[in-house]
Structure 1
């Protein structure tokens, strides 16, 4: 009887950090991977129950957003290990979608890691890569995700970034003099994982960028990584929802459709602008990130309040 390649995936040992463009072994989620079809792949992932960022939740739940990082790592593995993309090729995520279909799959007991299999299909057209698939826990779908991304020739990337940095610097204001809001207001325990400050105007929150953060900046970036932008969007939505009496800080991001139009500069002030609607316990948020007068990222989020 032939062996099921997905069932044969192991969760015992992580791949080397360089395999997923990471430096610290602590930031590696991928443990194994295999090709299941011409453009289909399965990647085993595991997130520690005590990860300093992705398990820093006040509520006893694993964070579904951790799967965006697992998905990014799966994408890196696929393009370098199977699709012959040269390591070091610059890339950018342009669209992200996620949809949690089984929130109970993310319940945590405080000692068991979140682990499962990311099954994806990759569509490649010239320099664009679209990757879409599911995160399976115990063989059942817990959530669906997709990334739309683009790869750049190195010289083109440098030219684009030099131009964008020069344009944004001309319109840059002063850096925000803000401290992180209280972690409990956004469902966190560790203040170091809070990436927004108090509202500067109603439903507008400054982004706070700590380049020494061990997860968001585990490798060198010349822009704010998408993981930090997504977290800023979520935290801003949580805070606005609480102010509107719709949701407390202990809520999960259960659906998102996000667009990242251009790179967001690290050293230029940026703000999250939020509009929330819904009913208590379930919130829909429309959100954008503005930098130097330009809407650099936008999308919609859905938050679902967590209950023990």
Structure 2
């Protein structure tokens, strides 16, 4: 009888931060990993119940959005440990899809970490890598996810970034001046985790980019990381969804289909526009991030009100 490699994975010891492109052990979620067949991989993850970013919400559930970061870390492990991609190779996510299959799998008691296994398959075609799989909590498929990404030769990456920056003038005063809105308006407690400011026009919110944030900028970036862009989209959707009657403190991200274009500069103002519609506790939001007149990211988010 063949043993499922996932059944032997451990959750007790986090991998070294360098293995998942992090600096702080606090930001590491991967605990173990194994190959599962010719193209399959299993990665165990653990997220602390008191993580300063991902636990900054209502205490009765874990945040499904944290699985995006866990999935990214799983992707880093797979490409470097199993596929031979050299460390330091620049990579960018171009598409992301997720769908929560079972919200009850994210229920929390306020003291127990979120533990699960990510089972994925990776397809490589030239410089593109596609990864798709499931996040299991015990035997339950809690979420399905997929990333489409591209690898850049280092010289090409620098040329691309220099060209992109030449097309967008930096703000002479530094980072955008927007101040974060009140945390409760986007389902947060800590103002430091708010990444949008007051609307500059109806349903259009400026991004707040704090390069000292310990999670979003755990390592040096020459651009705004996708994790912050996704959170800006979610917070913008939450803020707008309140007009549809959604209680922002009780809303979970349950579906996303996002596309990312060119890199987003940290020192050039950017805004997120949103159009939200919904009924019976579910809101679907069309979102787009613009910088210097260019649409740099866009997609669809679904937010679902969760009862305690």
TM-score normalised by structure 1 residue count: 0.97
| Corresponding position of 1:189 | 189
| Corresponding position of 2:203 | 203
Whole-angstrom CA distance in 2 between matches of 1:15 and 1:22 = 10
SS of 1:160's equivalent in the other structure is: helix
Q: Which runs of 5+ in 2 are unaligned?
A: none
Is 1:157 equivalent to 2:136 in the alignment?
no
| Corresponding position of 1:270 | 270
Instruction: Tell me: CA distance 1:160–1:172, structure 2 relative to 1, closer, same or farther (3 Å).
Output: farther
Task: Give CA deviations for 1:241-266 in whole Å, capped at 9, x if unaligned.
Answer: 10333443320010000000110111
Whole-angstrom CA distance in 2 between matches of 1:58 and 1:296 = 31
SS of 1:237's equivalent in the other structure is: helix
C-alpha displacement of 1:176: 4.2
SS of 2:301's equivalent in the other structure is: strand
Contact 2:244–2:278 under 8 Å retained in 1:
no
Contact 1:94–1:150 under 8 Å retained in 2:
yes
Whole-angstrom CA distance in 2 between matches of 1:223 and 1:42 = 30
Instruction: Tell me: CA distance 1:180–1:51, structure 2 relative to 1, closer, same or farther (3 Å).
Output: same
Whole-angstrom CA distance in 1 between matches of 2:28 and 2:8 = 20
Cα RMSD between the aligned structures?
1.5
| Corresponding position of 1:134 | 134
SS of 1:157's equivalent in the other structure is: helix
C-alpha displacement of 1:283: 0.0
Is 1:245 equivalent to 2:231 in the alignment?
no
C-alpha displacement of 1:4: 2.9
TM-score normalised by structure 2 residue count: 0.97
| Corresponding position of 2:109 | 109
SS of 2:168's equivalent in the other structure is: helix
| Corresponding position of 2:42 | 42
C-alpha displacement of 1:58: 2.6
C-alpha displacement of 1:140: 1.3
Contact 1:245–1:280 under 8 Å retained in 2:
no
SS of 1:46's equivalent in the other structure is: strand
Q: Which runs of 5+ in 1 are unaligned?
A: none
Runs of 4+ in 1 over 4 A off after TM superposition: 170-176
Whole-angstrom CA distance in 2 between matches of 1:140 and 1:262 = 36
| Corresponding position of 2:13 | 13
C-alpha displacement of 1:83: 0.3
| Corresponding position of 1:179 | 179
Whole-angstrom CA distance in 2 between matches of 1:6 and 1:58 = 30
- Number of residue pairs matched? 308
Instruction: Tell me: CA distance 1:172–1:300, structure 2 relative to 1, closer, same or farther (3 Å).
Output: farther
C-alpha displacement of 1:191: 0.7
| Corresponding position of 2:293 | 293
C-alpha displacement of 1:150: 0.2
Contact 1:39–1:122 under 8 Å retained in 2:
yes
C-alpha displacement of 1:55: 1.1
Contact 1:173–1:292 under 8 Å retained in 2:
no
| Corresponding position of 2:4 | 4
C-alpha displacement of 1:268: 0.4
| Corresponding position of 1:80 | 80
| Corresponding position of 2:307 | 307
Contact 2:130–2:148 under 8 Å retained in 1:
yes
